Amino acid sequence: MESSPPAMSRLIIVMIIASVLLTFGLARNSSATVPPCPLATDATITQMAQQWAAFFKTPYCAYLDERRNILLKRKLAAGVLRQTSVMSEIFRVTEESASTAKRIEKAARRVSFRDQGVADVVAAKLRALKSGGGLITYSAGERAFAKASRMEKALEKFAPTAFDFCSRHQAQKDAAKLAYLRGLVQAQELRLLSLLKMMDALEGER
């Protein structure tokens, strides 16, 4: 009886061990917000730091990627002025007409060089050139008018208020397209104006 502890003593021992374990558990739980580092080595801290860093980094990077993709999508959105290809087709046709050039040549060949002074030949040549220039200018004016009318009709289908409802990126694209079309129209204007000035230069006293 003396060598084996009685039931009461065993119960006390079990209670002490249980309370020890309970104390240890409570200590672990109380430091749950600051996880205990039983082996407080550099490797453990680094590993934990990496986990935390990944925890912060992942949502931030995902957010940044998402914003960037949205921005890229906006940048790639097509403009609201869709008819520009058709409009540019209007100006693809050349202004020069082979038939007009032939008519000028024909008129110029009528100039006779026989029994005439230099001044007469020059006057005749310039007259022929002037009438030829008149043909070219008229033809150019006719074509320019046709192109301008077609362009005007094409542009009338578009309402510029559409720019108010589109993004800045789309408006930039449309601005570029309109600048392109404007260039083609201006080239037409320059050609016509130049022909008129050439005609002017051929007439008048000298």
Contact with another protein (CB under 8 A): which of 3, 18, 19, 143?
A: 19
Tell me the closest approach of the beta carbon of residue 164 to another protein, in angstroms. Answer: 17
Q: Does 9 bind another protein (CB under 8 A)?
A: yes
Tell me the closest approach of the beta carbon of residue 51 to another protein, in angstroms. Answer: 9
63 residue type, one letter: Y
Rg from Cα positions in the chain: 46
Tell me the closest approach of the beta carbon of residue 161 to another protein, in angstroms. Answer: 20
Q: Does 151 bind another protein (CB under 8 A)?
A: no
Q: Tokens 């007009």 sit at which residue? A: 100
**How far apart are the C-alpha atoms of 159 and 132, rounded to whole Å?**
42
Structural contact between residues 79 and 173, judged by C-beta atoms closer than 8 angstroms: yes
Q: Does 143 bind another protein (CB under 8 A)?
A: no
**How far apart are the C-alpha atoms of 11 and 15, rounded to whole Å?**
6
| DSSP state letter for 157 | T
Nearer to another protein, 45 or 153 (CB): 45
Site map 66..85 versus another protein, x via CB under 8 A: --x---x-xxx-xx----xx
